[in-house]
Structure 1
């Protein structure tokens, strides 16, 4: 192994026990952390010289000495006073967690050890408080748990038998709650949803379009929008607005930025005049079309765009009892993506990503794009296995609300993020993984060739729309709504021929 990436192996099995068949899944993760003990270097081929329990740097072999030792190999005794933290100094100190401070005095004949505490808000020397005093070689203070009132400076004073005095100070500044907790004692759980973040005092801070507090499950009330629903809509004629950005959603026959304009209905006599003037023109145009169609009878044209006619998806309909939804893994301007487990006909479960339309975005154009994506995926998977470099399509749920498109779950996320991780890894190890990246490029090209054969135009091939499977295979994804689910900010709304379309900014 030449990488420090996490390796993961998954084993699926069907076990029969006393006549009962049970699907099982085992996942093993191997975290490669560096060279084995006592070795260092790029290829771990050098021997460490560190002594007395010192740690050896895996790259350059430098020794990290334990308290009481100095020198290049940590073999020189050194009298000193140190405070050791448990858990270690690299761990963030959160309120409501445990901490132990241990004062060590290696190579000192100790007569007495004292702990002094100076509160964080009081820097007057006369207010120093003796926490503990003992006659031993080391002494500890336990915080179970840490309270905010315990913050401040903790000084360990060591008096030696020969009369010498040495001390060292540790500063405790725990002001944050553990992740997903809030409140004065950090005892309340946030569990924020829909992209909300947990604040120490307020709980869930929700994205625009959702109210703060609870778990962000409530959208803004009608007539309000924005961050914490603090802004009021200025839409007219009793029209509603977008809860995220306040854009007015005009009804049929209304237009304008605030839907302030309304079409007036023509009077009866105007209708009669209009019909008498329009009908002859309609008849003439109809005759021309009929003649043209007769002349072109038998000639079929192929449409090379992705405007596929709605096909029956009954063969792709999944049983809702076979899928178990877990948690949301993505939310965009128009849809949600939820991770789940699907029981396949073979009897075992597979990880899937299920996409649906947000209830507050159920417009005709969004539903059209959603159905279009179903048709495209079904067409690509006319042969059930589909193409190895196109995200696998498992089926749809259309007989219940909300409706779902179910595809395979990509363990390694999108290609863009994966390439970023390779770049950071290369800075440390020097390995460029050229063959792996060429494999990704070849896989994408193979998928595009298949789409070209099927007369399908993706229109947005980019690294963000390619996912990497657990077997490190590049697969094209995002055939419609999923573009909005993952990266809605990378697209711009346009109006093409009276219909709303999304175009990639780049």
Structure 2
């Protein structure tokens, strides 16, 4: 009830007489103004909100709800309780308040059911709804205020790396490495010196625990390693002796062929893919390099149909080229057998067959007549019109290929625009599982000759930090290279450029990456797409996105249609 109300109070009739000079009063009229809270408010100061629902009336003093017919419930829960009947506990952290209906209402910069989590990297503010706007790749922002914070660099200007023994935001964390080992200024990961291993460099590399290992354990481990090595070596030697019993006596495989040729049935796997070279009709050359070339051709299948193929071969007397040739052959067979029939993933180049029983030897793969992605990017950049296709869709295709390779537990090691082929129907095909490093070798691949017997050509500017530093390759190193591929697309085919020399050596590039230096945001690239690249280049490989996450992110940030149906390739 609100507004002024007139009330009349009848006091009755008193006998009229004079009392010490005063006359008695028989009646009196009082005017009282009764003021209540406005609708939806209650409390002594009307400063609290009513929470009554479904037509219930709210008590103006304590907020209690008078439920309408057919409804029940309570108005307010005790502290730290929630739910319709106040039977659930909030257990909020960080000083958060407990709301009966929504639970913990987290303060700025926190999230989670109990406000136990800081905003994820790259976000800040209420409900972590804002994105950091820090340009430098070595910075992040405060989870509450959004203020950019140096990571792995001094807080003054973010120009100098953290002093020795410190790392992290504002260089406030101390390294836990032992034996005077340094740590990564971004992640705190220990860089063990020669002969040391372990999370904190606390172990000798071949001697067990540095502080409590025993000579007996060291000998047992060493003998076990040697026994395994000789068993693998003998198995490989016996296989290749059988494989070349037809008279091919070149020692092609003095180097490491990894784990792909250790099974006894591998020869039979090769024979299943062997093709009659008389059924192969070769045409013009479509690729040539220092170690071999690629020819366009057609192959007549046993059912009479004709398939267009690309035939890869190598020069006969180059040992390293032959290693790469057979390496790619085994990889493609493994992938093709994993794909099944029909193929479960059409975004990996399809193997059509091999020719190994005669010279020259060939790997026959499907022919993609629209060329490679790098050439397509540069052609579109040089055209006068600006109606180039959405190349981000091809990046989605590559991410799907990486997801499938992860399923097969295979690592590509050379994900780049030059190794993505485009089929006639516009699909991106991840290709060159080894041979491209030789056939198309140029200044992109830097020659590393630490071992004068075995010289490798490495695409340094596409390689992850742990690959450069430790020789470690996983599906997460492919994710790093995928980030560089996104950068190539954003620049329409530019070669990656870091500060310093145009083509830095391995040691120089490791120093740059450990200091937090990354490729800069390309002109015209969206902030969201660049942040995705930075996630791919995270020094901590565990914090890089998975291939399945890359598919969704590129579809979102690249405006790629999400509808996709797996289909058998027709080229």
Give the TM-score normalised by structure 1: 0.38
Q: Which has the higher helix share?
A: 2
Which of these two proteins has the greater Rg computed from alpha carbons? Answer: 2
| Bigger strand fraction | 1
